[in-house]
Amino acid sequence: MALYNGCFVQVWGFWPSKTGLSTSVRCTNSVKKQATGEYETEYSGFITFAGEANKDIQPYINRVSENKKPIMRLKLDNIAFKRTENPGQEGIPWDQKKYTDTIICYAFSIEEPNGNGQPVAAQNARPKYDPSIPENTIEEELPFN
């Protein structure tokens, strides 16, 4: 897999969970090969957005892909990999068991195209904690409001 903290992915669709606690996002990640100059897909699958990332992605879930183009581009700031054993495998040797891998995203940044179709700098969906800001600061005084 070619996913890591800080990598960029193209988003192709959103599937909110029935409970509303998470959203599955269909993503791809490609790398340009220096030898050929062509892009090669390294990851194509679903990423589960949970916690604050799920709340931050909600304004975008009604977007749809048009003309076979990605909906948006995201930078994955905090992801985790989870492996769970498939049910019903009692008594099977460990090296023959089957597993399900899940990728969970907890924080991301958005990179939206501007009017010219060129991407703008990635912007944090949620401001990060800054210890230099005193606790009693009024929200309107903060630089990201």
CA pair distance 109, 100, nearest whole angstrom: 27
The CA–CA distances, whole Å, from 118 to 46, 66, 113 equal 26, 17, 5
Encode pLDDT of 15-48 as tens digits: 999 998 999 999 999 888 888 889 889 999 999 9
Q: Look at residue 140 and give its three-state secondary structure.
A: helix
Encode pLDDT of 58-113 as tens digits: 988 888 877 788 888 899 999 999 888 888 888 888 888 888 888 999 998 887 65
Q: How many CB atoms lie within 10 A of CB 74?
A: 27
- Return the higher-pLDDT residue of 45 and 120: 45
Number of structural domains the chain divides into: 1
Domain assignment of residue 30, given as a range: 8-141
pLDDT bucket at 127, cuts 50 / 70 / 90:
very low
- Residue with token string 């990635």: 122
Residue 117 DSSP label? S
CATH of the domain at 29: 2.40.50
| 135 lies in some domain | yes
Q: What pTM was computed for the model? A: 0.69
| 115 lies in some domain | yes
| 2 lies in some domain | no
| 65 lies in some domain | yes
| 31 lies in some domain | yes
Cβ–Cβ < 8 Å for 83, 94: no
